[in-house]
Amino acid sequence: MNYPTLAIQRQGAILVVTLNRPEVLNAINTQMGHDLYGLWTLLAAEPGDTRCVVLTGAGERAFCAGGDLKERDGMAQATWQAQHGLFERGFTALMELPLPVIAAVNGHAYGGGLETALACDFIYAARGARFALSEVRLGIMPGGGGTQNLPRAVGERRAKELILTARPFSAEEGAAWGLVNKVCDNPLEEALATAKAIAENAPLSVRQAKKSIHYGLQTDLLTGYRFEIEAYNRLVDTEDRHEGVRAFNEKRKPVFKGK
């Protein structure tokens, strides 16, 4: 896992991924687009021992400032659309990643930076962090899932207000609206503690539960429930299910193997 724009660190079963272009507030350029898409695709196909991912940004000022507008300055339409196609594949791969991903938003998250955080499963944010989907000020609009994920997080009316005005909002406002799970002094530390708790659980169960929530919310209640039962039944004959019940009865901590 050697990527020019990402710093990768393993802490046991937790993979810490850092957007690593602090000199430009971790803005997403074409290389970072390739790196993120490659990483999410690899983890989906070959998670190995990884049970949870924490995504953060380098430096203290920003999680991610969005798309790299200096790289885009003067970019031809065909090149722009090809680059955006790469970004689209990356956002989709992140949203569909079976592993849980926690965004540890260490600073400001604008445009594609906020969309990246929204594509994660949940968000811990630093006090003083600012958020915005400011694309309409640039003559474009959110194109990384922002018009879909933001209303799912804060509701349709609030999302319309935020996207159409392009106004920034605080981490504390985001928490009050349901976008941010927790505002804290050290979001990376808090995210790692939660990732550790997740990683101690049965990995197949965690992935099936995430999948059930993710896809169930895209359909009606009974269809979602049927999806849940299909996901549930796939766990009944796993080694981890047998180990979990056995460990409970033996009053010990289970040893899950993801099998």
Catalytic residue annotation:
115, 135
The two three-digit tokens of residue 41, written as one number: 């695709």
**Half-sphere exposure (Cβ direction) of 180: Cα atoms closer than 13 Å:** 26
Q: How many CB atoms lie within 10 A of CB 167?
A: 12
User: Cα 143 from chain centroid?
Assistant: 16
Cα separation, 118 vs 213, in Å, equals 15
CA 197 → CA 100, 204, 232, distances in Å? 12, 15, 21
Cα separation, 187 vs 166, in Å, equals 25
Instruction: Answer yes or no: are the C-beta atoms of 121 and 129 closer than 8 Å.
Output: no
